[in-house]
């Protein structure tokens, strides 16, 4: 399974939860498969999906799922100790680890070589770190949601991409409807 | 009231409830006060762009936030300021120690000092420069301005503002 297939299999689990989605193809795929106000698409700032998601989780009560990539976590490694030491039980970090910088043409990352993101997250002090294979992603994410514990999921999948259109929506619109949806849910 | 107390009181007045920090010798006192303030969630970050990501998330979650950092970090935050904070129109007060200005004992700090204002100007970040202790009176209006216009705003603070190094 490649990332787009993993995301597709997760749609019923994302359901109406708020999702912060990584830059590039993951956001474009999620957008194409079913755009909604509960999705926050990153159009820039590779690496900050986990930081943005943590900020949202710390500021309010609704569950937040950050969809991240192995390359993006590698570029913002500092995020893992911050997450470990600022526990938000409404936060789930879902790292789709395809072992490559998928959005730029599947150049290999170190996560697909000797470096284990699961081991790094654990070493950083994260308490609920789960590694799963692509096929088990829906069950693993559902279990994390049901546990009401901050969880880091490292979902291993194959590299590879499908053709998807870019997101042309205005960033302020993306942000505003996401905020309003959160506000309504917290009211 | 010490300037550190005044700064924290202004943050509280403007309903800032999350502050992320990366230390500087000059900022030690204010970081300590932020940490001790019960109405503020203090979340140290490991790199300033990471901190700005957390602030962006907090804003979307309905909480006002701020970052406390050193001017040497301006370079590593340019992309985040432009493609996250500005692109999505989010407010972000940045309380920045301005190292490498008059009285600086460390030569290396002067190297980023000469680029600091030019970089901020290049990306259209409103920039205020506090020289003397009494300039802390401006913070109230600067915070009001930041949350009015939904922009990142830089508050550069000299060594003389903090009463030396
Ligand atoms: C600072 C910066 N450097 C490089 C890029 C180009 N870039 C965009 S997405 C991406 C790959 C991200 O890889 P990963 O997080 O593993 O996600 P994947 O696309 O594999 O799902 C890269 C390198 C960028 N957007 N910003
Ligand atoms: Mg990848």
Q: Which CATH superfamily is domain A3-186 in?
A: Thiamin diphosphate (ThDP)-binding fold, Pyr/PP domains (3.40.50.970)
Q: Is residue A104 in contact with ligand 1, taking CB distance under 6 Å?
A: yes
Q: Is B87 on the interface with A (CB under 8 A)?
A: yes
Place of tokens 């194409």: A32
Contacting residues of A for B81, CB less than 8 Å apart: none
Number of domains in chain B: 1
Whether residues A182 and B84 touch (CB distance < 8 A) is answered with no
Residue B165 within a domain: no
Whether residues A59 and B44 touch (CB distance < 8 A) is answered with no
Domain of residue B45 covers: 3-107+115-157
Strand runs labelled E in B26-138: 41-44, 64-70, 92-97, 127-130
Ligand 1, atom 7: closest residue by C-alpha: A104
Q: Indicate the pTM of the whole model.
A: 0.98
Residue B71 within a domain: yes
Residue B142 within a domain: yes
Strand runs labelled E in chain A: 18-21, 39-41, 64-69, 91-97, 100-101, 107-108, 129-133, 151-156
Q: Tell me: the pLDDT tens digits for A44-84?
A: 999 999 999 999 999 999 999 999 999 999 999 999 999 99
A41 Cα: distance to centroid of ligand 1 (angstroms): 14
Residue A7's pLDDT is what? 98
Residue B163's pLDDT is what? 84
Q: How far apart (Å, rounded) are the C-alpha atoms in residues B161 and B6?
A: 13
Residue B165's pLDDT is what? 66
Query: Residue B132 maps to which CATH number?
Result: 3.40.50.970
Residue B63's pLDDT is what? 98
Three-state DSSP state, A121: helix
Residue B13 within a domain: yes
Whether residues A78 and B47 touch (CB distance < 8 A) is answered with yes
- Alpha-carbon distances of A58 from A72, A134, A168, B57, rounded to whole Å: 21, 28, 29, 9
Using 70 as the pLDDT threshold, list the residues of chain B that sit under it.
165
Phi and psi, residue A30, nearest 5°: -60, -40
Structure-block tokens of residue B153: 């705003």
SS3 content of chain B, % helix, strand, coil (to 5): 50, 20, 30
For the segment A106-122, the average pLDDT, to the nearest whole number, is 98
- Tell me if A32 sits within 8 A of A43, measured CB to CB: no
Residue B123 within a domain: yes
């Amino acid at each position: 399974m490649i990332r787009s297939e993993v995301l597709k299999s997760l749609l019923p689990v994302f359901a109406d939860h708020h999702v912060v989605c990584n830059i590039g193809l993951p956001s474009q795929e999620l957008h194409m498969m079913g755009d909604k106000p509960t999705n926050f698409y990153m159009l820039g700032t590779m690496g900050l999906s986990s930081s943005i998601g943590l900020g949202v989780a710390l500021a309010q009560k609704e569950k937040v799922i950050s969809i991240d990539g192995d390359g993006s976590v590698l570029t913002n490694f500092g995020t893992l100790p911050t997450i470990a030491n600022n526990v938000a039980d409404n936060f789930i970090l879902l790292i789709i680890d395809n072992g490559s910088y998928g959005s730029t043409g599947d150049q290999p990352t170190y996560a697909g070589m000797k470096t284990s993101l699961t081991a790094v997250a654990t070493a950083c002090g994260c308490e609920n770190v789960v590694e799963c294979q692509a096929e088990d992603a829906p069950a693993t994410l559902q279990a994390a949601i049901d546990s009401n514990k901050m969880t880091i999921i490292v979902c291993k999948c194959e590299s590879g991409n499908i053709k998807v259109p870019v997101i042309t929506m205005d960033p302020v619109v993306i942000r505003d409807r996401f905020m309003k949806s959160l506000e309504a849910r917290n009211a | 009231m010490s300037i550190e107390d005044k700064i924290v009181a202004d943050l509280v007045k403007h309903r800032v409830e999350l502050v992320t920090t990366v230390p500087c010798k000059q900022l030690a006192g204010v970081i300590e006060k932020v940490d001790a303030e019960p109405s503020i969630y203090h979340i140290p970050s490991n790199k300033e762009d990471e901190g700005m990501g957390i602030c962006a998330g907090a804003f979307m979650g309905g909480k006002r936030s701020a970052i406390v950092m050193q001017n040497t970090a301006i370079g590593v935050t340019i992309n985040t300021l432009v493609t996250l904070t500005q692109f999505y129109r989010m407010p972000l007060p940045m309380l920045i120690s301005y190292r490498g200005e008059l009285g600086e004992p460390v030569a290396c700090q002067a190297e980023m000092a000469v680029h600091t204002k030019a970089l901020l100007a290049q990306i259209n970040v409103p920039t205020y420069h506090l020289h003397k202790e009494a300039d802390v009176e401006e913070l109230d209006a600067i915070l009001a301005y930041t949350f009015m216009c939904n922009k990142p705003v830089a508050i550069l603070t000299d060594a003389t503002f903090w009463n030396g190094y």
